[in-house]
Structure 1
Amino acid sequence: MASDGDQIIENLRALSEPANANSDVQSLLIRSSALVSCLKSLNRAANTATKTKKDETTAARQEMDQSHLGLQNLLYEKRHLEREIEKCRQFASVYQDIPLYTLEEFQGLAPEEARTSEVLEDDHQLMLNRLSFELAERQRLDLKRRELLQAKEELLKQSKVNTNTLDGVKGHIDALVKTASEIQKKVDELIQPLPVPENSTAMTIG
């Protein structure tokens, strides 16, 4: 397009040269008007192309800015996640202070599905399963302990009832013994020794 414009300008310049001074003015005017019209058409086309390229450049710049902003957001999110991961790695969880069954005890006591070869090869899953097993065992032992405590309380209650009953029976026995003793004493007082006849021995022998 630039070369076409240069050619038109050269043609216009040629029309103004002294060699064309004696040429027909009307003919020169027509030729110059045609060249100017072509030049204006080229100028409009150049402006349109420039505007199109400018719009394309603006759109590309906006897309690039948007991509850059998205990249910055991703980098920010990445740094945030890295910090959170580091915090998690440095976090001292309570499970680290919990006395767990040893690995050998876990392998010997835990359900088979909790200690498969795949689990034993995965340290994270293995720790989760060991913690779950530890929780289940502690709940089972706690339930057993509460059952034993309840049984102990029942035995203590029954023992207290038995003790109270025994004390009541003992009181009754003591009262009966005392009553019997008093009755025996009165009977002894009422009964006088009978006199023995002199010939009782002879009569008994005969």
Structure 2
Amino acid sequence: MSAPNYTEQYEGVIQTLEALVLDPSTDPFILHARTSALNARLKAILRAANAATRAAKAVTTAARLDLEQSELGLQNLTYEKRHLEREIEKCRQFATVYQDVPLHPLEEFQLLAPPEAYTPDDEHQLLLNRLSFEYVERQRLEREKKAKLQEKEELLKGSKARTTLQDSMSVTIEAASKVSTSRPHAIFLTQYQVVVEGQKKIHSEIATVLPHAV
């Protein structure tokens, strides 16, 4: 529904008044009655026009306030967007120790790691998964290294024990040989028993280090 045109109504009333005033044949009583009615109509039109003007101003003011609020909100969003873009760029340029950590190549990581750890669509999560995988792998390699070192140490102990056993046997054989050639049989038996007792003592000491060497 279109708004009433108060200007046309006002001009129509004015023209009617002018026609009545300029018509000499109009009865004064009728002229007075009609002009009074037209004046009342004119005042009503003016009041309605003023009310419509105030309403239009109120609507315009409300619309202007909404527009200003929208512009302010847009400015805030633009500022926040620029701020976030700067923060994102700072984060991208930020140097961390993780950048210097040697990682498995991406192709090797894809082959060795669980399938769910390979997330090419999320670079941040992919880096976290690669770091976690690297940490687990290094722990595993460290355990293997310690196990190998322990095995090496046990082998060295066994080798040393065998060398000691061989040396003691050589000493025993040499002592027995000397006794058999330079002393009587009784003295030989006595010396041999001493050597055997010493040999047993050496064997018992070796057994504490390497039981299977006895």
TM norm. shorter chain > 0.5: yes
Match of 1:2 in 2: 7
- Indicate the RMSD between aligned Cα atoms, in angstroms: 2.9
Deviation at 1:84?
1.0
- Please say if 1:11 is aligned against 2:41: no
Deviation at 1:97?
0.4
TM-score calculated relative to the size of structure 1: 0.60
Pair 60,16 (structure 1): closer, same or farther in 2 beyond 3 Å: same
Pair 106,23 (structure 1): closer, same or farther in 2 beyond 3 Å: closer
Matches within 5 A, 1:156-167: none
Counterpart code for 1:5: Y
Task: Give aligned-pair identity as a percent.
Answer: 56
Match of 1:165 in 2: none
Matches within 5 A, 1:64-75: 64-75=67-78
Matches within 5 A, 1:94-109: 94-109=97-112
Query: Unmatched 5+ residue regions in structure 2?
Result: 1-5, 155-214
Deviation at 1:50?
0.7
Counterpart code for 1:85: I
The superposition leaves residues 68-127 of structure 1 with CA deviations (integer Å, 9 ceiling, x where unpaired) of 111111101110111011111211122110112233543454345435xxx3x4471443
Query: Unmatched 5+ residue regions in structure 1?
Result: 156-206
Counterpart code for 1:68: E
- Please say if 1:60 is aligned against 2:63: yes
TM-score calculated relative to the size of structure 2: 0.58
- Please say if 1:114 is aligned against 2:114: no
Structure of greater Rg? 1
Pair 112,11 (structure 1): closer, same or farther in 2 beyond 3 Å: closer
Aligned length: 146
- Please say if 1:138 is aligned against 2:138: yes
Counterpart code for 1:56: V
